[in-house]
Structure formats: structure tokens, C-alpha cells
């Protein structure tokens, strides 16, 4: 009998946890955080890092999140490696702070650029317009870290990791060597609009099974086709400093899958079978089918798109709540095991032989 993938995931997580428990236990660093200022058209870059300073409560997102961090505290040398996190559409650094804490506890520094036009403060340009800019924004975030004397003194930037979730997963796949085009996006939405509606239109509206659904689909097809259908120029971005990539529940329907058969760097896919925003069969499952050597780990079968947001803000309502909130019975504590898998992946591919 083939073992259940979630059982394999639990077993792997247990092995990692046991290994950590049996290893000599260094004093865990606190979670330091600072913000590098905007440069040119780029937004700020939030940086998490090891520190010995005391953590204090930080209330953000209008009270929807409270974190413990040491703001602008002195840096403590870690393992010398940087991981850049590309947030999802409308996202922020804070919804990846649990992952940042796990990485910082292992010695990493974590940088999160604010993607222009597609973040928690500015929703003006989600989709292909943002996807085209994002990979270069990741590269410039590495440059910003390198230009900061406090950070650069503790880091080696020849081997950098990238983690991206949702739209950030699209960024991650591009940085792993994938090539996509607006025309492929339009083709996907023409063929599968009803089945993958919110992957094509975002949070503007949803299908409700009523008479308006036909009008919504006609309008979406028309706008998407006119705006993107004629642009078949492949998009890509290569940064030789990036040496390992994790794509979590990525938008992937617009990629030429032939470009992901052999990614230029080690690539892991973090998936969620219950994702109803980016249905796996159009996105992550297609990447896994093309890339036989990619690693995969999965959230529990009941987990939805928001499983990789940790902590998950409260107060979502309506369509956003349906697409992001945890379904009944989902154990959010399980996300800690997913974070450990990410740490282990970067340890193997960024720190090997050091």
C-alpha cells in the first residue's frame, strides 16, 4: 500500500523535530526586525534577523495581528545566509513572520520587499503587471541588504534563498528559471474561467451560481483577452545569487511548463489540496507533473490557500474569507511543521559543505 502523503509529511516532520531535539541546543535568538527605506520606485524592505535583545509586543494591521519582535535591535551573527520572501497578492511581511521566526532561529536573515502595486497598502496593479516587476524587486531587495552596513557585515550573499507564496510563488518559479507570458495567462482564463475564476480576476467578484455569473464571465474574458491576449513575449529573470527556491501554492497556469522541467536551482513546491483560490490542478500540480526532480511537501488535505499565511490575520469577510480562512477542523499548529521543512530545505541547499 502506498503511504498517505500527509503521513509521510508527518513522519518527515517528526524526524526533523527529533533531530533538533537531539542536537546540542544553542540559545535561540530573538526575532529582530527593521525596515530598509524605499529606494527609487521600490517600497521598503522589512528585514528579520537574529538578536539578543528583548522582544516587545507589536500591534499591526489595525489590531488584527500582534507579534513579539525586537524592533531595530542590534544584530547577532547568524549562519551568514539570506532568504528573501515574496509575499502574495495584497500581502505584507507580517503574515510570514512565523516562517521568519523559524528561519531566524536557524540563523538566517530574512528580507521581505513590499511589491509595488500589489501589497496590503496598495492594490492598484495585481496580476501580470505585478508579476513582471516582482523578480527584479527581489534582486533589488538583495542589493538593499548588501548596501546596509549593519546587515552586510553578517552575511554572504553568493547563495541566497527565495520563498514565495501565491503571487509570490509565481515570483519564485520565475526566479527558478520558469518563463511565462501574459498571453498564456489569457489563454488559461479563456479555457478555464469558470473553474478557476478567482485565479483570473482576484477578489473583484466571485461566481455565486446566479444569473449574473454569465455576465461576469463574459466581462472577464473580454477584458483579459483585450489586455493580455496579444502579448506572447516570454518573461523571465535570472539572478545568479539565488541558489534555492520554495514556491508555496503558486500561481502557475501561465508558465511554459517546458521551462520548469529542469529548474536552474533546487526547487520545492509547498501545496494545499483544499486550495480553492489557486486550484492545484491548474497550478502547483502542473508544475509537479513537469518537474520530476522538484521536492514537494503538502499541508493537511483540509488546508486551504491561507495555510501558508502564518499567523493568519483575523477579520476577513465575504469572498476573501472564503478563499483564505482555514476550513473547519484545520489544525493551524501544523504550519510549524511546514516551516521546519522550509528551514531544512534551505539548510541543505544554501549551507551544504559549510
48-95, pLDDT tens digit by residue? 999 999 999 998 877 778 899 999 999 999 999 999 999 999 889 999
296-302-304-310 Cα dihedral, nearest 10 degrees: -80
DSSP conformation class of 210: S
DSSP string, 14-70: HHHHHHHHHS--PPPPEEEEEEEPPBTTB--EEEEEEE-SPPEEEEEGGGTEEEEEE
Check residue 279 and give its pLDDT.
Answer: 93
Range with lowest mean pLDDT among 13-22, 29-38, 155-164, 318-327: 13-22
pLDDT above 70 (res 271): yes
| Measured distance CA(209)–CA(184) in Å, rounded | 27
**Shortest CA distance to 246 belongs to which of 129, 158, 142, 350?**
350
| Measured distance CA(306)–CA(166) in Å, rounded | 9
pLDDT above 50 (res 217): yes
pLDDT above 80 (res 293): yes
| Measured distance CA(338)–CA(82) in Å, rounded | 19
Domains parsed from the chain with CATH numbers: 26-180+237-350 (3.40.50.1820), 182-233 (no CATH)
| Measured distance CA(299)–CA(218) in Å, rounded | 34
CB 304 within 8 A of CB 272: yes
Residue 184 to residues 191, 220, 260, 339, Cα–Cα distance (Å): 11, 15, 15, 32
| Measured distance CA(166)–CA(169) in Å, rounded | 5
Q: What is the mean pLDDT of residues 18-24?
A: 39
| Measured distance CA(235)–CA(131) in Å, rounded | 9
Range with lowest mean pLDDT among 145-149, 178-182, 256-260, 303-307: 303-307
Check residue 204 and give its pLDDT.
Answer: 82
Q: What is the mean pLDDT of residues 282-305?
A: 90
HSE toward the beta carbon, residue 29, CA cutoff 13 A: 25
Note if the pTM is more than 0.85.
yes
Indicate the pLDDT class of residue 8, thresholds 50, 70 and 90: very low
For residue 24, give the C-alpha cell.
546540542
For residue 278, give the C-alpha cell.
489557486
Check residue 27 and give its pLDDT.
Answer: 58
Q: What is the mean pLDDT of residues 293-304?
A: 85
Strand order in the sheet with 30-36: 56-60, 65-71, 30-36, 45-51, 109-113, 82-86, 160-165, 242-248, 267-271, 295-298
pLDDT above 50 (res 243): yes
CB 138 within 8 A of CB 86: yes
| Measured distance CA(11)–CA(337) in Å, rounded | 10
Residue 104 to residues 77, 168, 249, 340, Cα–Cα distance (Å): 11, 20, 23, 12
Amino acid at each position: 500500500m502506498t503511504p498517505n502523503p500527509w503521513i509521510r509529511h508527518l513522519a518527515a516532520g517528526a524526524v526533523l523535530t527529533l533531530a533538533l531535539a537531539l542536537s546540542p541546543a544553542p540559545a535561540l535568538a530573538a526575532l529582530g526586525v527593521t525596515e530598509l527605506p524605499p529606494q527609487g520606485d521600490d517600497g521598503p524592505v522589512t528585514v528579520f534577523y537574529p538578536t539578543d535583545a528583548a522582544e516587545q509586543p507589536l500591534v499591526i494591521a489595525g489590531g488584527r495581528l500582534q507579534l513579539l519582535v525586537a524592533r531595530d535591535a542590534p544584530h547577532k551573527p547568524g549562519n551568514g545566509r539570506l532568504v528573501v520572501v515574496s509575499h502574495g497578492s495584497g500581502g505584507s511581511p507580517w503574515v510570514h513572520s512565523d516562517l521568519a521566526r523559524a528561519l531566524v532561529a536557524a540563523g538566517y536573515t530574512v528580507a521581505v520587499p513590499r511589491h509595488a502595486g500589489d501589497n496590503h497598502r496598495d492594490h492598484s496593479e495585481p496580476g501580470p503587471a505585478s508579476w513582471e516587476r516582482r523578480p527584479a524587486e527581489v534582486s533589488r531587495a538583495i542589493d538593499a541588504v548588501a548596501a546596509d552596513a549593519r546587515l552586510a557585515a553578517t552575511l554572504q550573499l553568493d547563495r541566497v534563498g527565495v520563498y514565495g507564496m501565491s503571487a509570490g510563488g509565481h515570483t519564485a518559479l520565475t526566479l527558478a528559471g520558469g518563463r511565462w507570458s501574459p498571453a498564456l495567462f489569457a489563454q488559461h482564463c479563456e479555457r478555464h474561467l469558470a473553474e478557476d475564476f478567482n485565479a483570473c480576476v482576484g477578489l473583484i467578484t466571485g461566481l455565486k451560481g446566479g444569473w449574473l455569473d454569465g455576465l461576469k464571465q463574459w466581462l472577464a474574458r473580454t477584458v483579459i483577452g483585450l489586455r493580455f491576449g496579444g502579448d506572447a513575449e516570454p518573461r523571465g529573470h535570472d539572478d545568479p545569487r539565488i541558489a534555492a527556491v520554495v514556491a508555496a501554492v503558486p500561481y502557475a497556469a501561465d508558465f511554459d511548463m517546458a521551462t520548469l522541467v529542469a529548474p536552474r536551482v533546487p526547487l520545492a513546491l509547498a501545496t494545499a489540496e483544499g486550495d480553492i483560490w489557486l486550484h492545484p490542478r491548474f497550478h502547483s500540480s502542473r508544475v509537479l507533473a513537469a518537474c520530476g526532480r522538484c521536492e514537494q511537501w503538502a499541508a493537511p488535505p483540509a488546508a486551504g490557500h491561507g495555510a501558508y499565511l502564518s499567523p493568519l490575520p483575523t477579520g476577513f469577510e465575504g469572498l476573501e474569507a472564503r478563499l483564505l480562512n482555514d476550513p473547519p477542523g484545520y489544525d493551524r499548529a501544523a504550519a510549524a511543521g511546514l516551516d521546519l521543512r522550509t528551514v531544512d530545505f534551505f539548510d541543505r541547499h544554501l549551507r551544504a559543505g559549510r
